Structure 1
Amino acid sequence: SDVKDTSLRVPSSYNGTVIDVRVFTRDGIDKDLRAKDIERQEVERIRKNIEAEFRIIETATYERLAEVLTGKAVIAGPMLKKGDKLTKAYLSDIGSDDWFKLRMEKEALNDQLVLADKRLKERRIELDEKFEESKVKLQSGDDLAPGVLKIVKVYLAIKRRIQPGDKMAGRHGNKGVISVIKPVEDMPFDVNGEPIDIVLNPLGVPKRMNVGQILESHLGWAAEGLGLKIGAMLDTQREVIEIRQFLEKVYNQSGRIEDLDSLSDAEVLSLAGNLRGGVPMATGVFDGAD
């Protein structure tokens, strides 16, 4: 036979997780069951993305219309009489199609309803056409090199132990290269004897940190410290009333007041157990000084 398998093989010593499988078949060749299954899953994924995109547009449109229409008088509409005023409760109860059956006293509002309906329908048509184009592209054959009937690509995610020369990045896009890895006993430590996890070059990440990132670092350290104190109180079996008082001090010194008095002793202990790893914190978006 002129057909042969030229597949690459993963060495037996490799361990990893298969994160994706792609099958490419030459145009005119019947697809096998695996290729058809992958194609079906991909079509379904595209359909879900298209529907999610339309729902976002639809929701934003109705929210904007609700702000404009609430409290305004109507001429006619489902279950309404002339002169009735629209309420948020009424708008949330009627179907989406019924919104565009409303006739308002102000002609400008009617124009907005007509325009919103038109744009939603146009967007629906655009997204449907986009889906059909993607579907046709998926279901058509692939342009492969001469003599190649099928290509199967298996993507593996392999965990490797970090080593000098590797690049790391934080979730803010700060990146750096590992220069040296030391045993924990050789790492610097804080006043409590806790070894430092990582030492950053001051010319790298720290000098580029903005106010929000610095605040996040301090809050994270404070949150962990509070969690350690709560964990120590649980480990030494302190009285529930002491733990409750400490939690009251943590939560209700400033900011939003939390109702801890309504919690039973068992619920207080459960909350304290959840806070061992650190106290969750939230802060508003920092958008600079006015």
Structure 2
Amino acid sequence: NQPFSVATSLIPFVENDDANRALMGSNMQKQAVPLITPEAPLVATGVESVAARDSGRLVLAEEAGEIIYADAQKIVVKNQSGKTKEYILVNFSRTNGFTTFHQRPAVSPGEHVKKGSVLADASTSVGGQLAIGQNVRVAFLPWFGANFEDAIVISERLAKDARFTSIHMEEFVCVVRDTKLGPEVTTHDIPNVSEFKLRNLDEDGVVRIGAEVRSGDILVGKVTPKGETQLTPEERLLHAIFGEKAKDVKDTSLRMEGGKRGRVVGVKIFSRENGDQLESGVISRVHVEVAQLRTISVGDKLAGRHGNKGVISRVLPEEDMPFDDNGNPVDIILTPLGVPSRMNLGQILELHLGLAAETLGYQAIVPSFSSATEEEIREELKKAGVAESGKRILFDGRTGEAFAQPVSVGMMYMLKLHHMVEDKIHMRSIGPYSLTTQQPLGGKAQNGGQRVGEMEVWAFLGYGAAHSLREILTIKSDDILDVLKSHTRRRLSTCLFVTYVDWESTSNLLGATQDERPETKESQL
């Protein structure tokens, strides 16, 4: 008799949420990132264990028996007839979403298990229940403009305790081909590359496992034969004089992509010599797996289960966070203006019931459309020794003074979504231009520039930023003559040999159109 989808059934008090926000809450649970220390929700709906089991990611006992061995690699169960069954666990494998899948033992030697009991949890479950987030202490409070427009203020403690820390893994592939000019070769000896950049490569040019890599670092050193047509005139001259053929290769190494970092955790090499089947023209393939630990930071996106999403705007020291009369600081400060117009009041009910559940030490189960009533929540708060309103006086962590009004404080289940700042942040000083328009390319993938459209121009006009506007629409865009002129200026300013005597010849040599020295301009005036 389940009236909703699995995702919607996981939202407590869904009957108190507006349909639009319930839809967002359902969809955003699919975007949650597996955390290294997952927690089952304090306020659940009862569907969590069914969802976790039906995912097929848990290890379940095929028959009743006793655990005789359990570690991170395997679990051994002895049944009643004395036969043993071995269950192999998966350790940190890459998922399609570039996160990691991991199985953790949920039993210990000596325990007796029934058929269907959970032997090992997945990276998104605890005790056989779906666990895709963290139970955090939340206060609804405006905080000096830092949580304006759904922004979120969090405590530094969340980062220190690795509460929202996740592991991300990506695979980079280097294909070694047989070209018309000869075969490509993976090697440690790459022309015009410093020893420092080669420090993590083995003799075959493959990065060693455990190496820390950043953007631009070489993962697989590879050289490709270069034909006579690809040689520069200087190289041709050297070949003619010295007959040097050793440098007839170009560097085509696999490098870490821009803006990425991590630690090499796996290297796989497939080659024809080892009998691996590869497509025609391919000699070998090298797969390098890089893992990265990401702590929560400014710019990451958090969300509750009620469509209450936001981006972290500030990470405050623990001592600066508001605290209650018991000295407990809050973990997250949300804006109270995000509730009334969105009509997702389920989050407030979850907040209050979560506080009672945490204080009294139980997990509250509230199925869809048969949840706890307002009176029942008041009763639970009374049992927990908290005001029936669920509000309490908080104190400013920086001054120690009490806030003027009581504040709604409680426990809420928050998820970290896969929209992380590290994947999106981008900056450019110089970079590629479009051949057709001569304007900078767009987007992070192309190392593009910041787009300034019609409405952005109006914003600059409104602020009277004339010089910025002129620069953006000319020299930083497609005014080629102005660009060349500025390059000439820069080159002239770095030429130490320029004197007033040879100004004309130097400026002609470098393509300057006129004498642009301040002294001459003043004299001309």
| Structure with greater proportional helix content | 1
> TM-score w.r.t. structure 1 length?
0.32
> TM-score w.r.t. structure 2 length?
0.19
| Structure with greater proportional strand content | 2
